Chain A
Amino acid sequence: MTQKAFIFSNKPEYRIKRHLLFWATWVVFMGFLYAFTPLPSRLNYLQRLPNSTTDAVLYLPIHIFLSYTLMYFLIPRYIVKGRYLLAVFWLVVLVLATGCLSAIVSLYVLFPVKEALLPSHLIVRYRPSDSPGLSAFYLSLLAGLRGGLSVGGIAAAIKLMKHWYTEGQRNLRLQKENAESQLQILKAQVHPHFLFNTLNNIYSFTQNTSSTASAMVMGLSDILRYMLYECNKPLVPLAKELKMTEEYIDLERIRYGNALEMDINLPGDTDGLHVAPLMLLPFIENCFKHGISNILDQPWLSLHVTIEDRTMTMKLLNSKPARPSHRTPGIGIDNVRKRLALLYPGKHELVINEEEEVFIVILKLELAVIKNTINSQPNSLAFAAATN
């Protein structure tokens, strides 16, 4: 678990440690590796270490430059997004820039620093600028570049590996959740036509005898239709979810006669806002299941939904018994929490506050806007949507 956190966590403490360890390892590796270069030949391996380690430290900023521009610029902006031509272009630019930086360090920084730090007999006297003409420039370019390419490649590989790994995990989880909910839908979908034909017939028979009964059948049909046919879409119009919430409340309140006091305040205009289906309904369901139905004293419920820009705020208050008979937070709510984490990462805020006699839920969601063009296009699936 901690190993996994060390590799994958985005918390600053882990990230800083992880990166420090990586670069420390790299400097040590470079120092020991380049000490094998048989220059100057009069020194033995250990004596060549200070020189090669100083080289490693001085070229480090260049390596860091290439690695981080690859990891935080090239990969997220071009490679992950599939803009490969631009990625190649930027890769060339970055490699050239790294080469230039390397040349600057080789020609102007390396020897002054070494001369200041190391005893003169330990310094490798070979300088690129001693070579004739252009080859001096090429050599100085290469000095920092080859190490930079190696470490940049390693860093990029790690970055990409982690990216695909987390992506894969996320997809797996989403698939699993999806499969589960589809199974639920399938279970209910055994014979929906039988269900709706029967509801229609009940509606027919109650029409003349009881307007309450026929209104209830109609409400129930709407809710079932919504759950069966529309909740497998990723997004539904917020207006629809609110309408279903209202119909659900209308059905539930019948159980209480006039005893249940309600204050429902929903926005009239939802302006193309869309929400993942069944995000609000479970909370309402929960109110009735755990709160209101156990109350003897004075059951009440207040539901206010407001919209500001793209943020929807739902404030749901309901009475609850002072001493709950059995404390279960509700599986429905657990599921919503999971779905919120998956579908609205960083875009939601859920506060559930249980007081002695009131249950408070505040849900803020940053919603997507989809302008409804469907109805204006005649040759589309408008009918499937126009069932309300």
Chain B
Amino acid sequence: MSIKCLIVDDEPPAREVLKRYVEETPGLELRGECANAVQALGFLQQQAIDLIFLDIRMPQLTGVDFLKSLKHTPKVIFTTAYSEYALEGYELDIVDFLMKPVRFERFLKAVNKAFPLQNAITPTLEPAPEKEKRIESFVYFRADRKMVKVLLSDILYIESMKDYVKVITDGHPIITKQSISSVETMLPEKKFIRTHRSFIVSVDKIKSFTNELIEIGKTEIPIGKLYRNTVLKVLE
């Protein structure tokens, strides 16, 4: 049993969008398109329809007036470019209210709301352009006149040397002109901690620690007096 649909909209391209959506949705069957509400009245006298996609602003007869004139109303989903109609929509008994342009996912949600039993409806349209896979977090530093990309997960620790900082990674260390405090603000607070006036360490890379020292790889990094309380709180 498929759901018999009717599209009522005065703009051909708008009908085109809905037509495509209906055709791409299994369980929906497009029975007709009307360019205005008067036509639609005639159409409804000829055959029974389950679901109307109804534009509101149309010449001659608006979607709202059309709906008020019907005795037996099928389920109705309003489609409009006017957000002001959202209110009025509820006074009439309608299923949903779609704002043009409508996303396909939003369209499906409305259809599922109209016929909850058919919740097997799944899109056959190609899904919305896929968000690329989670990129690993990174920052860029300038070193030797080049911009060097550094994955946060590669950073072991960062050491300050006067006006420069040295970023120690699994690969080559990177030396860049920046203050350690400013580098600190670039890094996620949860993943990196300042352990000393001159050191920031990556929490995940810590092998072991005492009250005074943190061991990362083969390096021992001091914990400064001022930082001790916060560092130990985070590590424990």
Chain A interface residues toward B at CB < 8 A: 192-193, 195-197, 199-201, 203-205, 207, 211-212, 215, 217-218, 221, 225, 229, 261-265, 297-298, 300, 302, 304, 306, 313, 315, 317, 319, 351, 353, 355-358, 360, 362, 379-381, 383-384, 386-388
Contacts and interface: CB of A to CB of B under 8 A. Distances in A.
Interface string B98-131: 1111110010000000000000000000101100
A355 B11 contact: no
A215 B128 contact: yes
A360 B13 contact: no
B185 A351 contact: yes
B90 A383 contact: yes
Given A203-B101, A261-B149, A215 B129 contact: yes
Contacts of A351: 185
5 contacts: A192-B81, A211-B126, A264-B135, A300-B140, A315-B185
A264 B136 CA distance: 9
Nearest to A385: B86
Contact of A356 (B14, B90, B137, B178): B178
B182 A217 contact: no
Contact of B13 (A204, A265, A319, A362): A204
A140 to B, nearest CB: 57
A384 B13 contact: no
Given A261-B149, A298-B147, A383-B86, A356 B177 contact: yes
Interface in B116-171: 126, 128-129, 135-140, 142, 147, 149
Contacts of B136: 263
B101 A221 contact: yes
A252 B205 CA distance: 36
A364 to B, nearest CB: 10
Contacts of A381: 86-87, 90
B188 A315 contact: yes
Contact of B99 (A196, A207, A263, A306): A196
Interface of B: 11, 13-14, 16-17, 20, 57, 81-83, 86-87, 89-90, 96-103, 106, 126, 128-129, 135-140, 142, 147, 149, 177-178, 182, 185-186, 188-190
Contacts of B100: 196-197, 199-200, 221
Given A196-B101, A229-B83, A204 B16 contact: yes
A317 B139 contact: yes
A383 B89 contact: yes
A260 B135 CA distance: 13
Given A205-B13, A351-B185, A199 B87 contact: no
A353 B185 contact: yes
B97 to A, nearest CB: 4
A360 B185 contact: yes
A192 to B, nearest CB: 7
A356 B189 CA distance: 22
Contact of A196 (B81, B86, B149, B177): B81
Nearest to B126: A211
A298 B150 CA distance: 13
A27 to B, nearest CB: 48
B17 A203 contact: yes
A332 B39 CA distance: 50
A388 B11 contact: no
A380 B228 CA distance: 55
A380 B99 CA distance: 17
B135 A304 contact: no
Contacts of A313: 189
A193 B178 contact: no
Contact of B82 (A193, A211, A212, A379): A193
A358 B186 contact: yes
Contacts of A207: 16-17, 20
Nearest to B138: A263
B131 to A, nearest CB: 9
Contacts of A315: 185-186, 188
A218 B101 contact: yes
A312 B83 CA distance: 30
B135 to A, nearest CB: 5
B58 to A, nearest CB: 12
Contact of A387 (B99, B142, B177, B190): B99
Given A207-B17, A379-B90, A384-B87, A302 B101 contact: no
Contact of A304 (B103, B147, B188): B188
Contact of A200 (B14, B82, B86, B188): B14
Nearest to B82: A193
- Give 4 closest A-B pairs by Cβ, nearest first: A204-B13, A196-B81, A383-B97, A384-B86
